[in-house]
Amino acid sequence: MKNRCIKLTLAYDGTDFAGWQRQKDARSVQEELERALSKMHGHSITVIGAGRTDSGVHARGQSA
C-alpha cells in the first residue's frame, strides 16, 4: 500500500489521557486515534503529532 501524508487538525479533552504520545502502560491520545483510524480503514495507521501535550492537558487546533 502506498504511503500518504494527510494533515489532521484535532481538538480533544485530555482529562482521561496520559498525554499525546504513545506510552507503554498508559492511555494516550495518539494511541486511541491510531486505533480508531486503523479500525475504520482496515489497516495499520501511524499518526505523527506536530506537538505533544502532557497528562490531563486539553488541545484545540493540534496538528498531526
pLDDT tens profile 9-28? 999 999 999 999 999 999 99
**What residues are labeled active site?**
54
Enclosing domain of residue 46: 9-63
What is the arithmetic mean of pLDDT over 18-40? 96
1 located within any domain: no
The enclosing domain of 56 has a CATH number of: 3.30.70.580
Residue 16 lies in a domain: yes
Average pLDDT in the chain: 95
Is 3 inside any structural domain? no
Cell 489521557 -> residue: 17
Q: Is residue 37 part of a domain?
A: yes
Q: Does residue 60 carry a pLDDT above 80? A: yes
Instruction: Please give the tally of structural domains in the chain.
Output: 1
Kindly state whether residue 25 falls inside one of the protein's structural domains: yes
Chain centre distance of CA 62:
10
